[in-house]
């Protein structure tokens, strides 16, 4: 097992949108709402193809991190879309302060556990932190192509 680096996301980032999930049924709505929010947040910054690639990668990561929080954390799961000058950040919070996120590189294929691996592959940076009552796992992406 490999620990995920502990670090807060970009301090100047501001929240654009927030979604609260109580169960797995909310994941489909999250993906659709995230796509809409990203189109709004990046208007004029990317071509249609570039925006499609960004939204696909961010939707996969948001869904994987939210699934992890729903499966392994304590409710509610809160997903935030943040932005700063050059990055967009997906921040997923749950209320389990005991469990720390990690990569299980020894897990056999087909046994799950790829959410953080996908996040690391699709994002430019991934980390986690906790505050007094929530644990956050985040992934950042370049705003502009």
Q: Are 92 and 65 in contact (CB under 8 A)?
A: yes
pLDDT in the model for residue 1: 61
Q: Which domains does the chain have, with CATH numbers?
A: 2-142 (3.30.565.10)
pLDDT band at 108 (very low <50, low <70, confident <90, very high): low
Question: Whole-prediction pTM value?
Answer: 0.91
Provide the β-strand partners of residue 93. 78, 136
Q: Are 126 and 119 in contact (CB under 8 A)?
A: yes
H/E run at residue 61: helix 48-72
Judging by DSSP bridges, how do beta strands 77-83 and 14-21 pair with one another?
Answer: antiparallel
Q: Are 89 and 140 in contact (CB under 8 A)?
A: yes
The structure tokens listed for 52 are 């499609």
* 136-145 pLDDT tens trace: 999 999 987 6
Other CB atoms within 10 A of residue 139 CB? 26
> How far, in Å, CA of 43 to CA of 91, rounded?
21
pLDDT in the model for residue 85: 86
* 7-54 pLDDT tens trace: 887 888 999 999 999 999 999 999 999 999 998 888 877 777 787 889
Average pLDDT, the chain: 89
Residue partners of 129: CB distance under 8 A and separation at least 6: 6, 7, 8, 9, 135, 136, 138
């Amino acid at each position: 097992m490999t620990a995920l680096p502990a670090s807060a996301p970009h301090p100047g980032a501001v929240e654009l949108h927030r979604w609260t999930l109580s169960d797995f049924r909310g994941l489909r709505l999250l993906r659709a709402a995230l796509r809409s929010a990203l189109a709004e947040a990046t208007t004029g910054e990317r071509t249609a193809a570039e925006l499609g690639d960004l939204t696909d990668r961010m939707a996969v990561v948001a869904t994987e991190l939210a699934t992890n929080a729903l499966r392994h954390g304590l409710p509610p799961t809160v997903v935030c879309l943040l932005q700063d000058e050059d990055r967009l950040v997906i921040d997923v919070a749950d209320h389990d302060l005991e469990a720390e996120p990690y990569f299980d590189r020894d897990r056999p294929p087909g046994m799950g556990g790829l959410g953080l691996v996908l996040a690391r592959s699709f994002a430019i940076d991934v980390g986690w932190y906790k505050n007094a009552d929530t644990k956050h796992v985040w992934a950042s992406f370049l705003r502009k192509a």
